[in-house]
């Protein structure tokens, strides 16, 4: 194999493919990155038996061939190279990489022992790349991070015709985003649970292109459940597959239907800035208190007797009924901060029902406008000390 590629394109491709390399491979061969040079350019691949990543990029190919090298070592080398064209020349035992006056020699791994990457599943539809990346980011914030409870680390993807819904929860908060996409079949229906971290990384990596093709296999005839993604960008075509999570996702969507008896409307940016300031003195595992007044809300937090912080923000408050059902709410400050950062609307609408009950946060285009229900974020309120 003998090829010549641009330094930035190689470094970008290698860095993304290396993300799928296992940190603790079950077999040494899985630490490798596969390089295949042919008439179409250079293809780099990785596979950890659950998730695969592949990039096809332009390259000047003098001699075609396939080699397997240490993926993480190649990623570190590619990242450190000077801004000059890169030459790769390989035989059966080693790969020589040259960039300017820098030269590296890498030992190859046995290609015939490397597992075959899974085939791309059946195409389900296409979606605008930037829209999908933003939607995944808004929902992934509510996904769990504890791998021992893997079902909560996933993002549930629901298909209903031309509506694609993304839903995640870590049991203490949940987020739902609905976007329009282009299904392969107009009456398409279904739901799958995709590992959230893989979905987030993939959506970010493919956001530079115009659209992302989503493929799904969920039937025995098509093999084990897989999700696949293909996106094209200025530096080449990227593909990724991941095994679906098999656990049953909890039925939480009905919790999004919160009919507030106390509704608060406030500027998202002003509240977000205030939360960032007041949470500086919030003691670990203690709530940030939001006190609801007639025309404003007051944020309060403290670290025992050592520090306290308060800030008032102008707000529009509506009470349904004769008496307010709630006068103060306790939020996990980090959850509130992340919810407001994901809201993507100039004004926020808080729907409260009672202390300790879920609070629904939605966006508003204007202070007196309708709620933007395409994105809904629910946070379980914390109990306030009496």
Task: Supply the DSSP string of 31-74, one letter for each residue.
Answer: GEEEEEEETTEEEEEEE-SSEEEEEEE--EEEE-EEEEEEHHHH
Question: Does residue 252 fall inside a structural domain?
Answer: no
User: What pLDDT does residue 221 have?
Assistant: 39
Q: Which long-range contacts (CB under 8 A, 24 or more apart) does 351-354 make?
A: 351/258, 351/259, 351/260, 351/262, 351/263, 352/260, 352/261, 352/262, 352/263, 352/264, 352/292, 352/325, 352/326, 353/258, 353/259, 353/260, 353/261, 353/262, 353/325, 353/326, 354/261, 354/325, 354/326
- Please answer whether residues 136 and 199 qualify as being in contact, where contact means their C-beta atoms are separated by less than 8 angstroms: yes
For residues 346 and 236, give the distance between their C-alpha atoms in angstroms, rounded to a whole number.
36
Question: Does residue 251 fall inside a structural domain?
Answer: no
Q: Same domain for 100 and 78? A: yes
Question: Does residue 200 fall inside a structural domain?
Answer: yes
Question: Does residue 49 fall inside a structural domain?
Answer: yes
235 closest CA partner among 19, 11, 61, 21: 11
User: What pLDDT does residue 239 have?
Assistant: 95
Per-residue pLDDT, averaged over 185-201, amounts to 94
Question: Does residue 248 fall inside a structural domain?
Answer: no
Of 61, 91, 113, the residue at which a domain comes to its end is 113
User: What pLDDT does residue 223 have?
Assistant: 41
For residues 290 and 313, give the distance between their C-alpha atoms in angstroms, rounded to a whole number.
10
Of 113, 145, 165, the residue at which a domain comes to its end is 113
- Please answer whether residues 32 and 25 qualify as being in contact, where contact means their C-beta atoms are separated by less than 8 angstroms: no
Q: Same domain for 235 and 265? A: no
Q: Same domain for 40 and 132? A: no
pLDDT for 64-107, tens place per residue?
999 999 999 999 999 999 999 999 999 888 999 999 999 999 99
Q: Same domain for 56 and 148? A: no
Burial (CB count <10 Å: 0-12, 13-18, 19+), residue 368: exposed
Q: Same domain for 197 and 271? A: no
Question: Does residue 355 fall inside a structural domain?
Answer: yes
Q: Same domain for 266 and 227? A: no
Q: Same domain for 126 and 100? A: no
Q: What is the dihedral of CA 56, 60, 63, 65, to 10 degrees?
A: -10
Identify which has the larger pLDDT, 218 or 286. Answer: 286
Cα 384 to the center of its chain, rounded Å: 32
CATH code of 56's domain: 3.10.150.10
Of 113, 133, 150, the residue at which a domain comes to its end is 113
Q: Same domain for 106 and 126? A: no
Bridge partners, residue 179, by sequence: 164
Enclosing domain of residue 85? 2-113
Q: Same domain for 262 and 367? A: yes
**pLDDT, mean over the chain:** 93
Q: Same domain for 198 and 89? A: no
Bridge partners, residue 88, by sequence: 3, 97
Count the domains in the chain.
3
pLDDT for 119-146, tens place per residue?
999 999 999 999 999 999 999 999 999 9
Positive or negative torsion for Cα 271, 273, 278, 284: positive
Q: Same domain for 371 and 267? A: yes
Q: Same domain for 263 and 239? A: no
Residues with Cβ within 8 Å of 100's Cβ and at least 6 positions away in sequence, in order, are: 81, 82, 84
Instruction: Return the half-sphere exposure (C-beta side, CA atoms, 13 A cut-off) of residue 343.
Output: 28
Start-end of H helices in 108-218: 129-140, 196-205
Residues with Cβ within 8 Å of 307's Cβ and at least 6 positions away in sequence, in order, are: 281
For residues 55 and 12, give the distance between their C-alpha atoms in angstroms, rounded to a whole number.
10
Question: Does residue 386 fall inside a structural domain?
Answer: no
Question: Does residue 345 fall inside a structural domain?
Answer: yes
Assessment of whether the complete model's pTM goes beyond 0.85: yes
pLDDT for 170-183, tens place per residue?
999 999 999 999 99
Per-residue pLDDT, averaged over 214-231, amounts to 76
pLDDT for 241-281, tens place per residue?
999 998 889 999 988 999 999 999 999 999 999 999 999 99
Radius of gyration of the chain (CA): 25
């Amino acid at each position: 194999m003998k090829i010549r590629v641009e330094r930035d394109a190689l470094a970008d491709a290698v860095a993304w493919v290396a993300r799928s390399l296992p940190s603790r491979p079950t077999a040494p061969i899985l630490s490798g990155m596969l390089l295949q040079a042919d008439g179409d350019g250079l293809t780099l691949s990785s596979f950890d038996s659950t998730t695969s990543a592949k990039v096809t990029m332009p390259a000047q190919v003098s001699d075609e061939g396939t080699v397997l090298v240490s993926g993480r070592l190649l990623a570190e080398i590619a990242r450190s190279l000077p801004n000059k064209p890169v030459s790769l020349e390989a035989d059966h035992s080693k790969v020589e990489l040259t960039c300017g006056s820098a030269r590296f020699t890498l030992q190859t791994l046995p290609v015939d022992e490397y597992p075959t990457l899974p085939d791309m599943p059946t195409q389900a539809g296409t979606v605008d790349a930037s829209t999908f990346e933003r939607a995944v980011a808004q929902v992934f914030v509510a996904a769990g991070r504890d791998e021992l409870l893997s079902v909560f680390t996933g993002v549930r993807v629901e298909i209903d015709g031309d509506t694609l819904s993304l839903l995640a929860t870590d049991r203490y908060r949940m987020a739902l985003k609905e976007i329009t996409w282009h299904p392969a079949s107009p009456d398409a229906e279904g739901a799958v649970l995709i590992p959230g971290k893989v979905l987030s990384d993939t959506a970010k990596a493919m956001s530079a292109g115009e659209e992302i093709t989503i493929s799904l296999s969920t039937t025995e005839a098509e093999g084990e459940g897989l999700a696949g993604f293909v996106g094209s960008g200025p530096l080449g075509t990227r593909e990724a597959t991941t095994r679906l999570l098999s656990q049953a996702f909890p039925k939480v969507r009905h919790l999004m239907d919160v009919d507030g008896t106390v509704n608060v409307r406030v500027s998202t940016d002003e509240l977000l800035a205030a939360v960032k300031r007041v949470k500086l003195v919030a003691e670990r595992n203690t709530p940030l208190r939001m006190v609801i007044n007639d025309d404003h809300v007051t944020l309060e937090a403290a670290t025992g007797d050592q520090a306290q912080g308060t800030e008032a923000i102008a707000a529009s408050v509506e009470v349904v009924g004769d008496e307010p059902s709630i006068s103060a709410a306790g939020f996990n400050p980090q959850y509130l901060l992340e919810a407001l950062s994901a809201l993507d609307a100039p004004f926020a609408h808080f729907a409260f029902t009672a202390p300790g009950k879920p609070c629904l946060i939605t966006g508003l285009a204007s202070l007196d406008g309708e709620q933007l229900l395409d994105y809904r974020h629910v946070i379980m309120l914390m109990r306030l000390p009496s």
